[in-house]
Amino acid sequence: MKKYEKIINDIILKIQTGIFKEGEQLYTEKEIKEIYNVSSTTAVRVLNELETAGYIFRIQGKGSFVNKTLVNKKVLVTENNNFHKHFKESVSEHAEVVEAEIIQDKELCNKLKLKNQKLLKVARIKYIGNIVWAHQTNYIPLKYLPDVNINDIDSFKELATMIRKKYRIDIHQEKSEKTMQVIVDTPEEIAKYISDEPCFEFDRYTYFADGKIFEYVKIYINYKYYSLTIKD
């Protein structure tokens, strides 16, 4: 782990444990240099990364402050992609399948509230134009997808479409639940696709009407291409 990442993690821990409270002023650039024995460049990067990840906000001439938390508050959340900021012209989205296999994994089955069963695992990288903006892995109990052809890689590019047409299950019409966190240390196996910059990490569950879980999805999105608008 790089030095600036260790500093970021240390400051995040101090925020999460209440050493720095919401609205309280954070270390200045000078204080970061002195406390962690780093250069001005590193100190500035630490503050920039913390701001990008949403942990702090800055007031010109006053400094950096800890953002207010939204724990146990009802909020209105609007998700947005930021493609328009990076592409002047309209560009198409597409996916590339990087892994498709049948697996058995006790931990994943626990997430799906199943006994040890076979799962379909499909990992894809998602593009906007020629830029990778997300990595997504779907885990679906094989019992819901009988006779799925694991060798038909192209059918997994548009996984939801394939499932709707072949199995008459419309994922987008089913209930889903999603949790999100910002991570600074992107896992190496993901970073090689979407860069080692901070990213949003999502866990999503899709449910049938009877409450059974149809799929578990892990998604990583490069912070440049995603934003949340939150109103409390």
Provide the residue range defining the domain that includes 200.
76-231
Rounded Cα–Cα distance for residues 70 and 53 (Å): 15
pLDDT range class, residue 108, cuts 50, 70, 90: very high
* Helix, strand, coil distribution of the chain in percent, nearest 5: 30, 35, 30
Residue 71 forms part of a structural domain? no
Q: Does 96 lie in the same domain as 158?
A: yes
Q: What are the tens digits of pLDDT across the range 29-88? A: 999 999 999 999 999 999 999 988 888 999 888 899 998 765 445 555 566 666 555 565
Task: Identify the domain boundary among 40, 66, 92.
Answer: 66
15: domain CATH number?
1.10.10.10
- In the chain, how many domains are there? 2
End-to-end CA distance of the chain: 36
Please compute, for residue 40, the number of CA atoms within 13 A of its CA located in the half-sphere on the CB side.
0
Q: Is residue 211 part of a domain?
A: yes
Is the same domain home to 221 and 123? yes
| pTM exceeds cut of 0.75 | no
> Which pLDDT does position 110 carry in this prediction?
93
pLDDT tens string 169-215? 988 778 888 888 888 888 899 999 988 888 889 999 999 988 899 99
User: Model confidence over 120-134: pLDDT tens digits?
Assistant: 999 999 998 888 889
Answer whether residue 87 is part of any domain: yes
